[in-house]
Structure 1
């Protein structure tokens, strides 16, 4: 009976399958647990129709983008105190989930950038913030003075108006690092 040993080996792979391996394919949950979780934060893209870049009243190295006499939609600040290297601190006033982290895409006409962002508690709500070294080439997305689109998870897309003011703040911040001043104006052609 040489067929029996062969039949035994033919069914051996089937013995490796077990109910324990298939248990991992299904995730068990409770409806009570799902109701206890906070709903995801999703908001529509802000209307930036009349929004403009304005220097912050308290600082020449800080800009706010928004409508006059309203809370800013985005702030861009050069921070040099208590920092080894100056940084550009970007605050996107869009509510996020506690402790969330994401890449913050900045889409310009000449280049695109993706910078790290995370939510931090400010005035009782979680908002998105980024700290970028002033010399980071990704900040060049602001330098030509063109419009930039800034998008965040759950916060929609903010269309930043074209302006040379962000380039001025970034160039001044870079100048404080001892780096060559990056001009917001193009060099004249000879």
Structure 2
């Protein structure tokens, strides 16, 4: 009986083709692009937080250069969101985690590659009242890291905390957000 079962198993296994290097060619899989080259950690000596062209936006970078990081408050009257952008090249449609370390907090925020003109940048958002933003509200130095986009040191400033507090106020008290 055992021999019969073993023989049947071997015969059935012989009905399927073995693994093959040509398998990919047979099923016609799409060729995948390799991820872009990681960038070096940017030099942030002399970088500062500054108000943007609108009151609901602040920029971080060296004066006269492209911003390295942007925080923005977006509200619809009932809900407020903080949108954060790591202004570094991203692979199209990629997803990652932005790690924030500073002011006694370690947080992980989702970021997606978002098309802006001809470039793809890392962008994400979170509710303005999220505890995940507390690392940015302390006024001290924060390290913001996205895999492949380097580790960005955000020099100490009270501007991120003020923007987040103002954004939370715009949304109204939690009871009004039902």
Same fold (TM over 0.5): yes
Contact 2:137 2:160 in 1 (8 A): yes
The structure whose Rg is larger is: 1
Residue matched to 2:74:
79
Answer whether contact 2:90 2:113 (CA < 8 A) is retained.
yes
- CA drift of 1:146 comes to 2.1
Instruction: Determine if contact 2:48/2:62 at 8 Å carries over to the other structure.
Output: yes
2:84 pairs with one of 90, 109, 133: 90
Measured after TM superposition, the shift of residue 89 of structure 1 is: 1.2
Report the counterpart of residue 141 of structure 1 in structure 2.
135
Determine the C-alpha separation between the residues in 1 that align with 2:17 and 2:77: 53
CA distance in 2, matches of 1:145, 1:111: 12
C-alpha separation between the residues in 2 aligned to 1:60 and 1:89? 14
Say whether residues 1:59 and 2:54 are aligned partners.
yes
Offset, 1:14: 3.2
Equivalent residue pairs, number: 170
**How do 1:1-190 and structure 2 match up within 5 A?**
5-18=1-14, 20=16, 22-23=18-19, 28=24, 38-41=33-36, 42-56=38-52, 58-80=53-75, 82=76, 84-179=78-173
The runs of 5 or more residues in structure 2 that have no matched partner are: none
Residues 83 and 129 (structure 1 numbering): CA distance in 2 closer, same or farther, change over 3 Å?
Answer: farther
Spell out, residue by residue over 1:118-169, the C-alpha distance to the aligned partner (whole angstroms, 9 max, x if none). 1111131111111211111101111222221111132111111122211111
> Which of structures 1 and 2 has the larger relative contact order (alpha carbons within 8 angstroms, sep 6+)?
2
Distance 2:165 2:141 in 1: 17
Whole-angstrom CA distance in 2 between matches of 1:6 and 1:142: 68
Alpha-carbon spacing, 1:87–1:169, altered in 2? closer, same or farther (3 Å): same
- The verdict on how the C-alpha distance between 1:129 and 1:20 changes in structure 2, with shifts beyond 3 A counting, is same
**Over the residues paired in the alignment, what is the CA RMSD in angstroms?**
2.7
Counterpart-to-counterpart distance in 2, 1:138 and 1:102:
16
Which structure 1 residue ranges, 5 or more long, are not aligned?
181-190
Quote the Cα distance in structure 2 between the aligned partners of 1:141 and 1:27: 49
Hey, what's the Cα distance between the residues in 2 that align with 1:76 and 1:61?
A: 8
